[in-house]
Structure 1
């Protein structure tokens, strides 16, 4: 038995190798624990208190903050808005990004025996990616000018030239959230065009050439070949967009009327967290909302990865 234990003992070289690896991992793990895990734990702790954010004195009140969420008139509308964002924003963004990515990488037909994108594809990729260069606050200010409810707005000015009365894009409760979703999609599409283009460029040309020899058209080429081989990238994109749908703070803060209005028609949970903490000084209650948002996001990511999981296609 003693000889058996010695036979399975790690060699000095293996110990040195593991020590070398751990020496590189130690600093990042410590930084991650301090600056990421630590604040999460602290948020859970604050959520169990009535801390006002100013005085160092507070009392532990258990789950009272969480029970208040069920009767909060702003919390549930915000959750419903996130549900709409989760349904519309990822679908619209992925559909538009896939369409343009396919055109820019595969949809241009055969050239020198290879599938290519439409003419000027490299230039169009830069144009599509341009919104990613802009800060979110700048995008919000830009669309404030575009969506102004009177004739001074760029969009309403164009509609007025066609004889259409100005539309209250951001002041109409029935339109405001849809308008902000449209801005989110506009901002996000460019990144996913580049992401999906990178995924499509990794698909071997032999696959497309074989499909072309079999008489596959663009429709078949997209749905039967490109989409299945791009599934892993789509899965990642869907998760990222879902997480973005649980955010939306900056655009709602800048674009919405009265920060989440009109009549809470555009409010989202990050905005409610900000309001409870910095307007009403209810840091304990704001932390409870943050914990709820954390678990909603975590649940969405886990369910998405589970539902969209499929056998990996090797090529």
Structure 2
């Protein structure tokens, strides 16, 4: 019976595996191969070996992009996960039901929909919204409020070098928090209510419930969220390309590797674009592997 089962399973797996190999793995192989050539798209390919990599490593914008990825990598996962955990905790454990039962705050179902709304908006829509929010005059939402209150002069959130990248990180956090609120809420919903009730009977307050009960039992989900957000930090192309000034400006203050790939394609330097793509892929894989290794811990069963 077992010998007949394996061919049956392989028969079902063969088609999706082949499709995955052709549409996902094969483009990676082609990109790695192209990174060793100089090619402008309309000329013959010319083998250059590691010349493209050498040029990339000596490019100032490459190191600027890496620096920006490092900043995003620190603040995007940290802020998104922290805010999402607090909101999810309030929506699931922040209130009291009848008979002292631990429940979410009043209106938690409505708040979940509100928090998730930014996740379903397309990047161009988000860009238009925040272009208005960040507008550097009284017609901008933030500057308009500050000027009405007499708090400050107009601030150029997207045109000042020291503010441009933090402003884009804030947009990414705003966009992503809702998804992770729902993700963490689903994880908390699987934690038996009896565990919270027992902890409260022992005198635990909400802060203790969060750090000593919820966070340890939700650690695997937090670990996964950190990896996903880290990979997003190595992307960030879409929001930078549509919201940043002057193609990664001002003065390269918001450029990322994805934008450098796009710029090289625009200049018909496909070998250089492939080289940046390989670097981006390797950095994402390295981050995911290191993060999973450093955050690995014993799983709790309940």
TM-score, length basis structure 1: 0.94
Q: What residue in structure 2 maps to residue 3 of structure 1?
A: none
C-alpha separation in 2, matches of 1:36 and 1:145: 38
Alignment pair present for 1:143 and 2:122: no
Shift of 1:69: 1.4
C-alpha distance in structure 1 between counterparts of 2:147 and 2:167, whole Å: 19
SS in 2 for 1:148: coil
Corresponding position: 1:297 with 2:284? yes
- Among 79, 103, 119, the alignment partner of 1:116 is 103
Partner of 1:105: 92
- Which residue of structure 1 aligns with residue 251 of structure 2? 263
Alpha-carbon offset, residue 73 of structure 1: 1.2
1:286 shift after superposition:
0.8
**If you compute each CA radius of gyration, which structure gives the higher value, 1 or 2?**
1
Which runs of structure 2 are paired with 1:130-279 in the superposition (5 Å)?
Answer: 130-163=117-150, 164-278=152-266
Q: Report how far residue 277 of structure 1 moved.
A: 1.1
Whether 2:53 is the aligned partner of 1:66: answer yes
Where structure 2 has 5 or more consecutive residues not aligned to the other structure, the ranges are: none
How does 1:11-22 map onto structure 2 within 5 Å? 13-22=1-10
Match 1:89 to one of 76, 79, 103: 76
Q: What does residue 271 of structure 2 align with?
A: 284
| Residue in 1 that maps onto 2:18 | 30
Provide the aligned length of Structure 1 versus Structure 2: 301
**Segments of 4+ moved more than 6 angstroms:** none
Choose the corresponding residue for 2:40, options 29, 45, 52: 52
**C-alpha distance in structure 2 between counterparts of 1:142 and 1:49, whole Å:** 41
Residue 240 of structure 1: CA displacement?
0.4
Q: Which moved more, 1:151-160 or 1:229-238?
A: 151-160
Report the Cα offset of residue 136 of structure 1.
1.4
CA displacement, residues 60-100 of structure 1 (integer Å, 9 cap, x when unaligned)? 11111011112101000000000000000100000000010
The CA distance in 1 between the partners of 2:146 and 2:232, in whole Å, is 31
Give the deviation of 1:59 after TM superposition.
1.0
Q: Where does residue 8 of structure 1 map in the other structure?
A: none
Alignment match, 1:4: none
Distance 1:61 1:266 in 2: 30
Aligned Cα RMSD in Å?
0.9
**CA apart distance, 1:155:** 1.5
Which ranges of structure 1 fall in alignment gaps of 5 or more residues? 1-12
| Cα deviation code 1:79-129 (max 9, x no counterpart) | 000000000010000000001000000011353342101100000000000
Q: Deviations over 1:8-43 (max 9, x none)?
A: xxxxx2222111111110111001000000000000
SS at the partner of 1:112? Answer: helix
